[in-house]
Amino acid sequence: MINLFIDGKEVEVPEGSTVLQAAEKAGKKIPTLCFLKDINEIGACRVCLVEVEGARNLLASCVTPVSEGMKVLTNTPRVRRARKLQVELLLSNHEMNCPTCIRNGNCELKQVAEELGIREIRFNDGKKTTYSKDNSTPALIRDPGKCILCRRCVSVCSNVQTVEAIVPIGRGFDTVIAPSGLKNLADSPCVKCGQCVLVCPTGALTEKEYIEEVWAALDDPKKHVVVQTAPATRVA
């Protein structure tokens, strides 16, 4: 077992635990976005940064292992500033149609932004990526405009489902999560299992809503007749 201090509180955790797990045990909440226990532990989003005594840089708590006597600070002004910066950068390249987004109400990005008290985005005038929405399958919608590149979907698709339908393509700012060769999902090995939707923290991967099928049917004159006549038949 390892003993360490989280915001001055001593905790004991099994060797090999992360600072995030130790903080959880100490009752300290650290925001996370890319972290998905046992599936995606890659330290990509840097939202879970903490200060560790003796370390020059802030460290991502989700991938930093604990060590004996370690002293961790989870909520200093420096930590809060760094987390805010990370989330503002994500929001600066995020499609801001939150009121009409299907994830409005349970978007992890929005929740973390609220928790950090973000009220403005300092980098709104910067460059934005312009990948278009993939509406090619009857089941899923992939919207790169809402993707935060956390790679949870990539991990679940590759390591859990072993399908490998989506991968990171490109580098740095231009990275996009998409089927290889920037194909549409319909032309990829995607089996529409929906696991990527379950793990996506935002509205970047969503299920098509039943209502869309209803509207599509109403727009089709033949189906429109069926929809209209079915209740009358039942009454007769």
Q: Which is nearer to ligand FES, 92 or 136 (CB)?
A: 92
Q: Please report how close the Cβ of residue 65 comes to ligand FES at its closest, in angstroms.
A: 13
Contacts of residue 90, Cβ cutoff 8 Å, sequence gap at least 6: 33, 45, 109, 148
Of the candidate spans 32-40, 117-125, 167-175, 191-199, the one that interacts with ligand FES by CB under 6 A turns out to be: 32-40
What is the distance between the alpha carbons of residues 223 and 94, in angstroms, rounded to a whole number? Answer: 37
* Ramachandran quadrant class, 4 (left: phi over 0; alpha: psi -120 to 50; beta: rest): beta
Could you give the count of Cα atoms lying within 13 Å of 206 in the half-sphere of its Cβ? 20
Q: Please report how close the Cβ of residue 50 comes to ligand FES at its closest, in angstroms.
A: 10
Q: Which of 6, 33, 147, 196 binds ligand FES (CB under 6 A)?
A: 33
152 in contact with ligand FES (CB under 6 A): no
Nearest to 147 by CA among 135, 130, 160: 130
| DSSP SS3 for 51 | strand
Contacts of residue 212, Cβ cutoff 8 Å, sequence gap at least 6: none
Structure tokens at 152: 């949870």
Q: Please report how close the Cβ of residue 26 comes to ligand FES at its closest, in angstroms.
A: 17
Q: Which of 6, 62, 177, 178 binds ligand FES (CB under 6 A)?
A: 62
Of the candidate spans 45-53, 123-131, 151-159, 186-194, the one that interacts with ligand FES by CB under 6 A turns out to be: 45-53
177 in contact with ligand FES (CB under 6 A): no
Residues that bind ligand FES (CB under 6 A): 32-35, 43-48, 60, 62
